[in-house]
Structure 1
Amino acid sequence: MAILRGGQPLPLFGFFRRLLGGDRAFRQAIATVTGRTPSNARLYTLAFTHASAVRQTEQGKHLSNERLEFLGDAILGAVVAEYLFRKFPYEPEGFLTEIRSRIVNRESMNQMALKLGLDKLVQLDPAQNRAARSRSVNGNALEALVGAVYLDHGYTAARRFVLARLIRPFVDVKALTSTTTNFKSKLIEWAQRKGKALRYEHSGEQRPGGVMEFSVTVFIEDEAVASGMGLSKKQAEQTAAERALATLGM
């Protein structure tokens, strides 16, 4: 029952009513993205909470999406591995590993997250600049969302979400398997033909679970042309080279 003051609801009541409305809108947004209504909305709130938006608890842990990201990354990798294993029954392990890495690499996940509109749901410190967002924040949130679906509804639902809402709408597996995978060699050949100086600059940062994520920028004649990210220097170099070739119109 509403608490009244002079016949009007107290401001606090209005605040809780607005909060409830926001919760309903958030649940609807999650249902639209995942295809299932959340049972535990707090999991999804956590999935979209970047570490920069929360303070450390007394136990020394952050109430952020980092742990869910770690879990979701593992679930995502397992689902994609099984999908490729069944789709390509006669291809060797190296082929399957290469295609999986190209599907679940950081930039691919970031693009999927943006296409799903997850950037509208991510909560982070306003001081985080646009470059930081584009680099990893949204892709990390997508992996955390996979983890949240798994904990909320189980592996079968998480698998269905990955395949039906991520892989089939956004990943052209046929194109991935038919394009040249050694983009670095192709870029080196181009630079040699043109007489251009080519170099790569590397950096790395630690992800949840102690995994290193590498960032590589391609320079041609000391001009930054493209950047890429990956869980190994080789993968990051290949991604950066692929984007550099696209920039060069190749």
Structure 2
Amino acid sequence: MFFSRIRSIFTTYSKEDKRLIASIKMMVGSKPLNLRPYRVAVQHTSVAKSVKKGFKESNERLEYLGDAVLGMVVAEYLFKKYPFKDEGFLTEVRSRIVSRDSLNRVARAIGIPDIVKFDRRRKTPNSHKSLYGNTLEAMVGAILIDRGYNFARKFVLKKLLVPHYDIDEILATTKNYKSKLIEWTQKHAKTPKFEHLQTIDKGHFKEFIMQVTVDEEPIAKGHGLSKKKAEQDAAREACIKLEIE
């Protein structure tokens, strides 16, 4: 890390890089030591270039890494905050916190739309529902590579979780995605169907897996502590994939 600091002092940056550095400083609280992972983090696959044997260097790999960090930090936070709640409760609350809707909302709030790069001829920010949330996850992955786990953990807690989430409100509010999906299918003369795929016995509770199909085409799967909650989760995923407002 010491050499990263020294190298950053003597590196000459372009105007574009300087804008990215300023944005990162505003989001994270300090300048990056190694800018390269952040450059990749803001690069959507639609504008990625092949670098080796057809491999495109987009933010998808960093997104995978950031998703793991987010899940871990949120799980630890909830584990400590609710010492007498069971695994099922913790899993459900975590899934709401790291859902696409939640991450997209937080990403917008911290300025991700100002730095993400994507092919505007293919998609627009409003129609690409996962663009900002995925980029936020990639940014967390970049922070992990640049600063290490402890720094990334503090970022998730102090810059994302605490200021942008009301846990009590999350517990009290559940969007009815199933109704939204049914309304959309009726409008487009399509037929939705929810199917029970599996029940996983986890000892003191059961996890249900449901699948939603539209005109007999599988669209999405959902998980929950009841069939009703699993249907809502499947409907939520379907709304994202079908780009339903």
1:174 aligns with 2:168: yes
2:130 is aligned to: 136
| Paired positions, count | 196
Residue range with higher mean Cα deviation, 125-134 or 29-38: 125-134
- Say which of 26, 29, 32 aligns to 1:38: 32
Contact 1:105 1:230 in 2 (8 A): no
2:103 corresponds in structure 1 to 109
TM-score after normalising by structure 1: 0.67
Unpaired segments of 5 or more residues in structure 2? 1-11, 184-188, 195-210, 215-219, 224-229, 240-244
Q: How far is the alpha carbon of 1:99 from its aligned partner?
A: 0.4
Amino acid paired to 2:235: E
**CA distance, structure 2, for counterparts of residue 87 and residue 168 of structure 1:** 12
**Structure 1 residue 125, shift from structure 2 partner:** 1.3
Q: 1:177 to 1:61 in 2, by over 3 A?
A: same
The range that moved more, 229-238 or 139-148, is 229-238
RMSD in angstroms over aligned alpha carbons? 3.5
Larger radius of gyration: 1
Residue 120 of structure 2 is aligned to residue 126 of structure 1:
yes
Q: Give the TM-score of the pair, scaled to structure 2.
A: 0.69
From 17, 23, 26, the counterpart of 1:23: 17
Pair 1:83-2:77 in alignment: yes
Give the C-alpha shift of residue 176 in structure 1: 1.3
Mind listing any 5+ residue stretches in structure 1 that lack a counterpart?
1-16, 192-196, 203-214, 219-228, 242-246
CA 1:150 to 1:168, structure 2 compared with 1: closer, same or farther past 3 Å?
same
Seen in structure 2, the aligned counterparts of structure 1 residues 63 and 112 have a Cα distance that, compared at 3 Å, is same
Shift of residue 21, structure 1, vs aligned partner: 3.2
d(CA) in 2 for partners of 1:110 and 1:217? Answer: 25
Q: Is the counterpart of residue 158 in structure 1 residue 152 in structure 2?
A: yes
Q: CA deviation at 1:117?
A: 1.5
- SS of aligned partner of 2:16: helix
**In 1, distance between residues paired with 2:82 and 2:193?**
35
Cα distance 1:23–1:89, how it changes in 2: closer, same or farther (>3 A)? same
In structure 2, the residue corresponding to 1:57 is in which secondary structure? strand
The 1:231–1:120 alpha-carbon spacing in structure 2 relative to 1, beyond 3 Å, is farther
CA gap of 1:90–1:199, structure 2 versus 1, over 3 A, is farther
1:146 is matched with 140
How far residue 77 of structure 1 moved from its aligned partner, in angstroms, is 0.3
Matched residue type, 1:164: K
* Structure 2 counterpart of 1:6: none
Q: Percent identity?
A: 40
Cα distance in 2 for partners of 1:127, 1:31 equals 30
For residues 190 and 157 of structure 2, the distance between their equivalents in structure 1, rounded to whole angstroms, comes to: 38
